[in-house]
Amino acid sequence: MSDTTRVALVTGASGGIGRAVAQRLAADGMAVAVHYAGNKAAADETVAAIEEAHGRAIAVTGDVADEAAMAEAFDAVERAFGGIDVVVHTAGVMLLGPVVEFDLDALDRMHRTNIRGTFVVAQQAARRVRGGGAVVTFSTSVTRLAFPGYAAYAAGKGAVEAMTLVLARELRGRDITVNAVAPGPTATPLFLEGKDQEAVDRLAAQSPLERLGTPDDIAEAVAFLAGPGRWVNGQVVFANGGIA
């Protein structure tokens, strides 16, 4: 690997949007660490797909909300590739339900992953990402769309947006950009689960482009922020086809 090769760590990269992001960054010439929480086989599939396309990748694991586990994951990336230039944090949990009956234990579990997990990964990124690098977190367009049933999830993503914008300013002088991507309805297994075709069609029709987003659509936005988009900093980029 050339000393000029950029290195990316993508959390939650064993499937869905995370996998698309990992593969896209690898296609852009980065060496990629594919992070997973529990599904090693799926992460290995992502690594294999990158290697088959003549890219360079490894798999790393760890609970994103566990600071020791994530420190070891970052250590593993640095041992393998010599440093870290880009951190993309896609890992998250989505539990839905109305406020009036939402289970508070479920709220705590989701916020542990989505809020604390983002903070832990951002903290490691702030300590380790090299100058010229980028940090990309994940919010959701539901923070603006306010779909019923999404209050607990959107609340956590609002916290992600807040910490992302603050971190961008805290890294002043280090030539590191920090942004959040906020996808709209995107055709992933997580999103489609439990929805009938009528519900899917209704959501697809909301965009002026009249379709759901794809993981590749979201990966395009991340690739811009992780690569040429150096003058975009401290922003929430809504990748939703024009819904909001």
CATH number at residue 118: 3.40.50.720
Residues whose CB falls within 8 Å of the CB of residue 239, separated by 6 or more in sequence, listed in order? 181, 182, 183, 184, 213, 217, 218, 220, 221
Active site residues: 153
Q: So what's the pLDDT on residue 143?
A: 95
Average pLDDT over residues 161-181: 98
Question: Domain for residue 61, yes or no?
Answer: yes
* Average pLDDT over the chain, rounded to an integer: 95
**Residues 33, 10 contacting (CB under 8 angstroms):** yes
- pLDDT of 194 higher than 70: yes
Q: So what's the pLDDT on residue 200?
A: 87
pLDDT band for position 191 (cuts 50, 70, 90)? confident
pLDDT band for position 193 (cuts 50, 70, 90)? confident
How many Å apart are CA 157 and CA 137, to the nearest integer?
10
Question: Domain for residue 200, yes or no?
Answer: no
Residue ranges making up the domain that contains 55: 7-184+215-238
Contacts of 171-175 with CB under 8 Å at 24 or more apart are: 171/126, 174/131, 175/131, 175/132, 175/133
* Residues 86-105: tens digit of each pLDDT: 999 999 999 999 999 999 99
Average pLDDT over residues 188-205: 84
- pLDDT of 190 higher than 90: no
CA 102 from centre of chain: 25
In total, how many domains does the chain have? Answer: 1
Q: So what's the pLDDT on residue 244?
A: 66
How many Å apart are CA 215 and CA 236, to the nearest integer?
18
> Phi and psi of 229, rounded to 5°?
-80, 55
Question: Domain for residue 189, yes or no?
Answer: no
Q: Closest Cα partner for 160 from 66, 92, 70, 218?
A: 92
Q: Could you tell me the two tokens for 59?
A: 């798999």
Q: Could you tell me the two tokens for 176?
A: 């590191």
Question: Domain for residue 193, yes or no?
Answer: no
Rg for the chain, CA atoms, rounded? 17
- pLDDT of 15 higher than 80: yes
Q: Could you tell me the two tokens for 41?
A: 């086989």
How many Å apart are CA 72 and CA 77, to the nearest integer?
9
Q: What is the DSSP letter of 147?
A: -
* Residues 31-86: tens digit of each pLDDT: 999 999 989 999 999 999 999 999 999 999 999 999 999 999 999 999 999 999 99
